[in-house]
Amino acid sequence: MVTMNSEADKTQATNATLAMSSAEKQPAAESTSPLPKSPPATAAAGVAVTTECSVPAAASLPPVPVPAAAPAAATTQTSVPTPAPEALANGNSNANIEEVVVAVASTAAGATVNGGAAGVVTSVAAATPPPSAKTVNVRDTTTSAGVSGSSASKSSGLLTVSSNHHHHHHHQQSSSSSSSSQQQQQAAPSTVVVQSSSQHQRSNKNEDAPNILVYKKMEAIIEKMQAESTGVAVRTVKAFMSKVPSVFTGADLVAWILKNFDVEDVTEALHFAHLLSSHGYIFPIDDHALTVKNDGTFYRFQTPYFWPSNCWEPENTDYAVYLCKRTMQNKTRLELADYEAENLAKLQKMFSRKWEFIFMQAESQSKVAKKRDKLERKVLDSQERAFWDVHRPMPGCVNTTEIDIKKAYRRGGSSHGTGSSGASVAKNPVEQLSRIIALRKQKLERRTIKVSKAAEALVAYYDQYNEFDYFITSPELPNPWQTDSTEMWDTEKNSKEVPVRRVKRWAFSLRELLNDAIGRDQFTKFLEKEYSGENLKFWESVQEMKALPQSEIKEAIHKIWQEFLAPDAPCPVNVDSKSVELAREAVNSPNGPNRWCFDVAASHVYHLMKSDSYSRYLRSDMYKDYLNCSRKKIKSIPNLFGVKR
Amino acid sequence: MPKIDPETQALYDEINGMIQKFKDDQKAKADCTLADKCGDMSDVTKIRFNSKKILKGHINKVNSVHFAGDSRHCVTGSLDGKLIIWDTWTANKVQIIPLRSAWVMTVAFSPSGNFVACGGMDNACTVYDVNNRDASGVAKMVRELVGYEGFLSSCRFLDDGHLITGSGDMKICHWDLEKGVKTMDFNGHAGDIAGLSLSPDMQTYITGSVDKTAKLWDVREEGHKQMFFGHEMDVSSVCYHPNGMGFASCSEDQTARLYDLRSDQQIGQYEPPQKNTGFTSCALSTSGRYLMCGGIEGMVHSWDTMKQRHTGTLSGHENRITCISLCPNGMCLASTSWDQQVRLWL
């Protein structure tokens, strides 16, 4: 949400741009950024923005903002002692809006689960700052927003955010000190000065942003392109009844790249141009898809203010305001694309509570825009559109700005020395290296098989299992998702109708047999008939024991020992003396037995079953009958769903 | 840069010598390529999956999905601060679990379907009992596992009582859920742990990390068994081969790879047809023949693992795919994305 600060900003920004446009008619591309309308809203949104966006539902933002509110509030409040009253002096309309902001902020906060409280606190703090109350508020925010343990490393990532606020408060201060209503001429230069200094400041803070190196490189290139004599020729094209200001063609651009860079051919130059474009540095004037074609299509440079290196992380609310505004300006070139209309509808639903406010904002921005010079408006509109094409790209376009929050987090962590990068280096290198060497030695000693063998194993596995791979073979029972029949899940539970493929799978390995509840059941029955059920029982009890909680382990181990392994066990298993000895040692170990103490014995028994009982089971009539039985049944099921078998 | 003392230098040299030895050894074992061996296999068709259902309900980026052992229910976690348990067959929500922290990065369903675990930027792992409700009617929180110094990036249940987690502080932790105590806790990698996959027999697991490597671990021990190199950037996800002898991995470096444990090296490499996307998540089909990877450009790519050919893409998502999960019976693939959707492919 946007406070009155941004409102003040905006008026001032308009003043500034008007002043500039009257001074020099050469818009955007080369000017030192004439603060267009909505992005000030984004950045200057000030304290309330950040807190509002901590509302989980509203945001698609990296994890930083929650604790962000605190430092942001702190810096702004202290560095600019009394922004609110001065801003108030700017005019009545501002005061009204401020009231609305506070009202909206508090309703929104009331409605949310997390972070809502913080929203109220800080937005109030921003609006009415009694100096003593600030610190208290700030502390409140931190505690209410604090996510256990991690706030320290997170808050480092916020510097970017807070620097933005910082800048805009400066800006606002300077603008309001130039006594609001008049003296646009004076306001303009001060804006520029503050902006450039803040740009510097911001770039400092953003140095560790993930793509900053790439951005810097691209920006150096863009600056070259914009050089007055040696750059790409920017012109104003006269079309029928109208003018297209400050554009260049794709062909010009590609030619320029070919001439100035060491690129092999047109394809490479195009690709290069496309990359610049996908980050929004250059954009087609009437297309949402940020790419470059080698023809007469017109392109324009983005103003540095909107460059991605400024680390914009625009909120959905800003996007909503922007889209809403577009619907108000009755121009075909500003009509919403289908996907934008869809987004607008979604956002309207999401922000239904504060839609009134978003609408008001859009309305006031739109009013401001209408006062501008026509050509300049065209440029600014297109630049703003390109900005959103970068940050809320059309479906199917690659999003270059949104960062994975894991990465953002890592970045935050790194500057604090916690997290992945800082640690572990500090330790004794000799010790570490020796450890590595020991591990590597192990690796060298390990016997490895040849790749041909590995490949053969994979092929064999595929041959055996392709029947069960739904990607390759249709399932025996109808796919429940496609046919609305739950047969597949139902048969899992009752053993009467087991599909033949499933029974066949039991023959692949003992593991397959034991993994299938019905298979295990059958095998148990078979072993009972053979009077060798204790092996499986022992193996099963060991597996069950391993899954028990620590508190019950000791008792369970004792029980297993007594039942299967002890000299006078009622149900002794056939295990070699060595394994029994190992188990005995483990069970009686001074540290207490652990859950893996029977592993050796259990794997011995498993092997025994595998080599002996299991192969006999597969040859037994019991298994064959079962297999035939299910085969018959399968045949009797009509192929209802036309699934290929 | 401080001067390296001779002792350290000697160790470095030794390591480099060993690395060379591995390489020679690997070369010696690489007597043929997977493609050579599979040349006479029949081709597989293009992946037939369609987006059959869209599970709607999340109102922010969805970060993770995992299937329960019944191949029917799955859990998803989103930045809107909710876990949703879905019946994928009816596409209905079975339960919605509001979280204390909205920054959920990973979710896991226990194989039995009794518990779900989740965690993320709150530096904790929270376990909910699906079958027990608290006073307000939502699933009861049974454990809050804390003590991490980085975000939780992956977690998997060994069974209802045991959980393994990997986190942004490079650690692997084993938890006894009944007692709520950590049974093991050790540095796993030289970077954030990004993905974790349990072997079919639950005896070993693989982790993938931002340090570009993947490692094999025994559930009983702290030291790693094997280490796998090859990726040029963060390994974002790993997936055990159903035969338990290998695993697939995918990375931001725009490749997916297949490793074999016994030959201790990479045996397959898979790339998207246009090199235009890194991968966030991978899965292998029941026979191991198809490999699927979710891309940051919003498509699921698939390959024939044997012949290393691209076998099509699944398109539908409008933004980065964060996670894919194949249900245990191999019939249904779920994917989650930044576009707030959960899609089912079959």
pLDDT digits (tens, 9 = 90+) for A6-20: 333 433 433 433 334
B11 pLDDT more than 90: no
The verdict on residue A461 lying in a domain is no
Domain carrying residue B322? 35-345
Q: Are B170 and A451 an interchain contact pair (Cβ–Cβ within 8 Å)?
A: no
Q: Show which of residues 199-218 on chain B sit within 8 Å of chain A, judged by CB atoms.
A: 200-201, 210
> For residue A482, which residues of chain B lie inside 8 Å, CB to CB?
52, 346
Cβ-Cβ pairs closer than 8 A, A with B, add up to 276
Most confident residue range from A103-112, A610-619, B90-99:
B90-99
Residue A485 lies in a domain: yes
Of B15, B226, B320, the CB nearest to A437: B15
Q: Cβ–Cβ of A468/B287 closer than 8 Å?
A: yes
Q: Which residues of B touch A450 (CB under 8 A)?
A: 29-32, 263
For tokens 């027990």, name the residue.
Answer: B132
Question: Which comes out higher in pLDDT, residue B29 or A36?
Answer: B29
Nearest-CB residue to B37 (from A456, A472, A511) = A456
Tell me how far apart the alpha carbons of residues A571 and A528 are, in angstroms, rounded to a whole number: 13
The answer to whether A418 faces chain B, any CB pair under 8 Å, is yes
DSSP 3-state of A417: coil
A272 and A405: one domain? no
Task: Find out whether A615 and A519 touch, Cβ atoms under 8 Å.
Answer: no
Check CB contact of A436 with chain B, cutoff 8 Å: yes
Q: Which residues of A touch B264 (CB under 8 A)?
A: 443, 446, 448
- Establish if B242 belongs to a structural domain: yes
B74-116 residue pLDDT tens: 999 999 999 999 999 888 999 999 998 888 999 999 988 889 9
pLDDT of amino acid B205 = 96
Q: Report the C-alpha gap between A155 and A144 in whole angstroms.
A: 14
Q: Tell me: do A22 and A141 sit in the same domain.
A: yes
User: Which of B194, B267, B286 faces A465 most closely, judged by CB atoms?
Assistant: B286
CA distance A460 to A45: 63
- Chain B nearest-CA residue for A54: B102
Query: In one letter, which amino acid is A276?
Result: L
* B123, B200, B331 member nearest A479 (Cβ): B331
Does residue B285 belong to the interface with chain A, where contact is any CB pair within 8 Å?
yes
**Structure confidence by residue, pLDDT tens digits, B108-139:** 999 888 899 999 988 999 999 988 888 888 88
pLDDT band for B208, please (50, 70, 90 cuts): very high
Residues in chain A within 8 Å Cβ distance of B89: 480-481, 486
For residue B19, is it within any domain? no
Pairwise CA distance, residues A530 & A617, whole Å: 10
- Of the residues A259, A286, A305, the one at which a domain ends: A305
User: Within the 47-86 window of chain B, which residues sit less than 8 Å (CB to CB) from chain A?
Assistant: 47-49, 52-53, 59-61, 70-72, 79-81
Tell me how far apart the alpha carbons of residues B344 and A537 are, in angstroms, rounded to a whole number. 40
Q: How far is CA A377 from CA A37, A278, A358, A448, B196, in A?
A: 11, 23, 22, 69, 53
> Are residues A191 and A137 both part of a single domain?
yes
Query: So what's the pLDDT on residue A82?
Result: 36
> Is A261 in the same domain as A378?
no
Nearest CA in chain A to B234: A407
Q: Sort out which chain A residues have CB atoms less than 8 A from B59's CB and list them.
A: 57, 350
d(CA A594, CA A546): 9
To the nearest whole number, what is the mean pLDDT of chain A?
67
Write a three-state SS string for chain B.
CCCCCHHHHHHHHHHHHHHHHHHHHHHHHCCCCHHHHHCCCCCCCCCCCCEEEEECCCCCCEEEEEECCCCCEEEEEECCCEEEEEECCCCEEEEEEECCCCCEEEEEECCCCCEEEEEECCCCEEEEEEEEECCCCCEEEEEEECCCCCCEEEEEEEECCEEEEEECCCEEEEEECCCCEEEEEEECCCCCEEEEEECCCCCEEEEEECCCCEEEEECCCCCEEEEECCCCCCEEEEEECCCCCEEEEEECCCCEEEEECCCCEEEEEECCCCCCCCEEEEEECCCCCEEEEEECCCEEEEEECCCCEEEEEEECCCCCEEEEEECCCCCCEEEEECCCCEEEEC
Q: Is B226 among the domain residues?
A: yes
Q: Is residue A486 part of a domain?
A: yes
A396 in contact with chain B, both atoms CB, cutoff 8 A? yes
- B32 to chain A, closest Cα gap in Å: 6
Query: Across the beta sheet with B256-260, what order do the strands follow?
Result: B235-240, B246-251, B256-260, B265-270
Return the pLDDT at B257.
95
Closest chain A CA to residue B163 = A547
Q: Does one domain contain both A152 and A188?
A: yes
Calpha distance A45→A123 (Å, rounded)? 11
Does residue A116 contact residue A104 with C-beta atoms inside 8 Å?
no
Examine the domain organization and report whether A72 and A172 are in the same domain. Answer: yes
Q: Distance between CA B257 and CA A575 in Å, rounded?
A: 42
pLDDT given for residue A410 in this prediction: 63
- A66, A441, A451, A600: which to substitute to probe chain B, counting the most B Cβ within 10 Å? A451
Q: Pick the residue from chain B with its C-alpha nearest to A452.
A: B32
Distances (CA, A) of A209 to A128, A215, A578, B80, B97: 33, 10, 60, 25, 34
Q: How many domains does chain B have?
A: 1
pLDDT tens digits for range A149-162: 333 333 333 333 33
Q: Which residues of A touch B44 (CB under 8 A)?
A: 471-472
Residue A135 sits in the same domain as residue A164: yes
Name which residue leads in pLDDT, A119 or B84: B84
Interface mutation target, options B287, B303, B319, B324, chain A, most CBs of A under 10 Å: B287
- Burial class from Cβ neighbours inside 10 Å (0-12, 13-18, 19+) for residue A469 reads buried
Say how far apart CA A364 and CA A263 lie, in whole Å. Answer: 47
For residue A286, is it within any domain? yes
A294: helix, strand or coil: coil
Beta-carbon separation of B289 and A462 below 8 A = yes
Is A150 in CB contact (< 8 Å) with chain B? yes
**Strands across the sheet containing B51-55:** B51-55, B342-345, B333-337, B321-326
**Residue A533 pLDDT:** 85
- For residue B129, what is the domain's CATH number? 2.130.10.10
**Which tokens belong to A204?**
């400092």
Inter-chain residue contact B190 with A424, CB threshold 8 Å? yes
Nearest Cβ partner for A57 among B80, B161, B262:
B80
B contacts of A602 (beta carbons < 8 Å): none
- Apex CA B265: angle with CA B261 and CA B269, to 5°? 110
Within a domain: B213: yes
DSSP string, A147-195: PTTTHHHHHHHTHHHHHHHHHHHHHHHHHHHT-TTS-HHHHHHHHHHHH
Minimal-distance CA residue of chain B relative to A350 = B59
Residue A124 lies in a domain: yes
Q: Output A20 or A449, whichever has higher pLDDT.
A: A449
| Minimal Cβ distance to A547: which of B33, B161, B179 | B161
pLDDT per position as a tens digit, A165-185 = 334 444 444 333 333 333 433
pLDDT in tens, A312-361: 778 888 899 999 888 887 776 678 888 888 888 888 888 888 888 898 88
Interface test with B, best of A61, A114, A150, A271 (most B CBs within 10 A): A150
Q: Are residues A103 and A127 in the same domain?
A: yes
* B330 domain-assigned: yes
ipTM of the complex: 0.87
pLDDT digits (tens, 9 = 90+) for A227-245: 888 888 888 888 777 888 8
Q: Check CB contact of B3 with chain A, cutoff 8 Å.
A: no
Structure tokens at A444: 């060298």
Query: A490: which chain B residues are within 8 Å (Cβ-Cβ)?
Result: none
Q: Rounded mean pLDDT of A522-541?
A: 88
Q: Is the pLDDT of residue A491 over 60?
A: yes
Nearest CB neighbour to B31, from listed A148, A452, A457? A452
**Interchain contact, B224 vs A439, CB within 8 Å:** yes
Residue with tokens 């620097």: A163
More confident residue, A135 or A631: A631
Percent of all residues in chain A with a pLDDT value above 70, rounded to a whole number: 58
User: Is there a contact between B198 and B190 (Cβ–Cβ < 8 Å)?
Assistant: no
Cβ contacts of B153 on chain A, cutoff 8 Å: 406
Residue A232 lies in domain: 223-305
By C-alpha distance, which of A334, A335, A280, A349 is closest to A312? A280
Does B13 map to a domain?
Answer: no
Written as one letter, the residue type at A576 is: D
The answer as to whether A248 is a domain residue is yes
Q: CB distance B30–A450 less than 8 Å?
A: yes
Q: Which residues of B touch A469 (CB under 8 A)?
A: 285-287, 289-290, 330
Would you tell me which residues 512-541 of chain A have a C-beta closer than 8 angstroms to some C-beta of chain B?
none
Rounded CA separation A437/B15 (Å): 6
Shared domain check, A182 and A240: no
How many domains is chain A partitioned into structurally? Answer: 3
pLDDT at B185: 92
CB within 8 Å: A444 and B122: no
More confident call, A166 vs A560: A560
User: B307 at the A interface (CB within 8 A)?
Assistant: no
Query: Do A380 and A315 fall within a single domain?
Result: yes
Q: Where is average pLDDT lowest: A273-282, A506-515, A608-617, B4-13?
A: B4-13
Q: Are residues A202 and A116 in the same domain?
A: yes
Chain B residues near residue A274 by CB distance under 8 angstroms = none
Interior CA angle at B7 toward B1 and B13, to 5°?
85
Partner-chain contact B190 A63, CB within 8 Å: no
Smallest CA–CA distance, residue A549 to chain B, in Å, is 5
Residue B16 lies in a domain: no
- Who's near A343: CB < 8 A, 6+ residues apart? A319, A323, A392
Same domain, A96 and A17: yes
Q: Going by C-beta distance under 8 Å and a sequence separation of 6 or more, which residues neighbour residue A451?
A: B29, B30, B31, B32, B33, B34, B260, B263, B265, B267
Judged by average pLDDT, the poorest of A228-237, A260-269, A404-413, B275-284 is: A404-413
> Contact B151/A150, CB-based, under 8 Å?
yes
Query: Is B30 part of any domain?
Result: no
